[in-house]
Structure 1
Amino acid sequence: MLRFENVGLRYGLGAEVLRDLSFAIEPNSFQFLTGPSGAGKTSLLRLMFLALKPTRGLVRVFGRDILTLPPRELPGLRRRIGVVFQDFRLLDHMTTYENVALPLRVAGREESSYRAEVVELLGWVGLGERLDAFPSVLSGGEKQRAAIARALVAQPEMLLADEPTGNVDPQLARRILRLFVELHKSGTSVVIATHDIALMDLYDARRLVLHEGRLHVYE
């Protein structure tokens, strides 16, 4: 599904922030990405989401080499990847329902073909009664769940989540983790970036540990 071979990344003329990364994300797999602050977790996620290209090395996503991929094909690959951003990125002028439905609308689907599934998904993440609420009146946990629902609505083959429990209490963090576990059981590959050791200990999963720009894999 995704393969890195000897990947390095630097910004501008600075030193490499990621060095010699070699690993693979298999179909229907579940893993945590962790490491100290500043280790490069967000940079690695951006490479995985195709928001960045590596300075060196090979990155293959769904069997395609992103360095030789025609630009017109990039959006199609990105649509197969769901992303939960650390800062939510909900649009303030849209309701919860509209924010979650946005990927389907952008893909050109008619609302009549997706309204029921969006409503069902919002119920699944506990926002069934907040469909018409705007982000300004949502709690941090509700915004987080709305962002997760938006990432899931297009049924991605791979989901990347950047600190998805960083703004919620421990009880809600466990509930959010269960959502990702259920998604994994349905066939999606899941990568959760987190520094919460207690949360990772709740689930026996592979760990990708970044330290000083290098990656160590613990099965």
Structure 2
Amino acid sequence: MIRFENVGLRYGMGPEILRDISLHIPERSFQFLSGPSGAGKTTLLRLLFMSLKPTRGLITIFGKDRSRISRSELPHLRRRIGVVFQDFRLLDHMTTYENVALPLRVRGREEASYRTDVTELLKWVGLGERMHVLPPVLSGGEKQRAAIARALIEQPEILLADEPTGNVDPPLARRLLRLFIELNRLGTAVVIATHDLGLMEQVDARRMILAGGRLDVYD
């Protein structure tokens, strides 16, 4: 689904932040991305999501050379990738339901065509009773689950999650991890960026460790 070959990234004339990164994300796979703070995990996720272009090297996404993907093609390809950001990015003036449904509204779909899907997904992530409240009323864990639901509503082929358990307590972190495992079981490839070693030990999954601008992969 995604392949990096000797990818490097630098900003302007500065030193390379990422160097000679090679990896592949197979269909239906599950992997953790770890490394010290400031190692570039979020930057690597941005390359995966195509919000950054590499300085050098080859990135192939869904069979397409990243350097040849036109601006008009990007929205269609990005809809195949769900993203959970560290800061949630929920809109405070919209209810939980409206936040989760937003990607479908942006695509021009009528509410009648997705109302049931959004409602069922919110129930699946444990927010069935909170779908009509605004984000400021939600706890940190509830906001996290709302962000996950929004990332899943378009049934992505890949989910990228940036520190999805960084702001929740251990029991909720385990619950969120079970959601990701179930999602993976249903066919979505999952990439979780985390520094939580305890979380990684709960799943037999590939580990990608980023340090010093380089990536080591352990199957």
| TM-score interval, normalised by the smaller of the two chains | over 0.9
State yes or no: 1:88 paired with 2:118.
no
- SS of the residue aligned with 2:19? strand
Residue identity opposite 2:170 in structure 1: P
Which residue is 1:204 aligned to? 204
Residue identity opposite 1:35 in structure 2: G
Which residue is 1:144 aligned to? 144
Deviations 1:56-82 (A, max 9, x none): 001111011111112111110001000
Which residue is 1:14 aligned to? 14
The gaps in structure 2 that reach 5 residues or longer are: none
Deviations 1:71-107 (A, max 9, x none): 1111100010000000000011100000000111111
Take 1:187 and 1:131, find their aligned partners in 2: how far apart are those partners?
26
State yes or no: 1:63 paired with 2:70.
no
Which runs of structure 1 show a deviation greater than 6 angstroms over 4 or more consecutive aligned residues? none
Calculate the TM-score normalised by the size of structure 1: 0.99
Residue identity opposite 2:212 in structure 1: E
Residue identity opposite 1:17 in structure 2: I
Take 1:175 and 1:88, find their aligned partners in 2: how far apart are those partners?
17
Which residue is 2:34 aligned to? 34
1:175-190 mapped onto 2 (5 Å cutoff): 175-190=175-190
Number of residue equivalences? 219
Take 1:187 and 1:26, find their aligned partners in 2: how far apart are those partners?
11
Take 1:71 and 1:169, find their aligned partners in 2: how far apart are those partners?
40
Take 2:192 and 2:9, find their aligned partners in 1: how far apart are those partners?
21
Deviations 1:21-74 (A, max 9, x none): 011000000000000101110000000000000000011110111111121111
The gaps in structure 1 that reach 5 residues or longer are: none
Deviations 1:153-192 (A, max 9, x none): 1000000000000000000000000000000000000000
State yes or no: 1:167 paired with 2:167.
yes
Take 1:115 and 1:134, find their aligned partners in 2: how far apart are those partners?
18
**1:128, CA displacement in angstroms?**
0.3
- SS of the residue aligned with 1:108? coil
- SS of the residue aligned with 1:13? coil
Which residue is 2:126 aligned to? 126
Which residue is 1:112 aligned to? 112
State yes or no: 1:52 paired with 2:52.
yes
Residue identity opposite 2:182 in structure 1: E
Deviations 1:114-163 (A, max 9, x none): 00010000001010001111011110000000000000010000000000
**1:13, CA displacement in angstroms?**
1.4
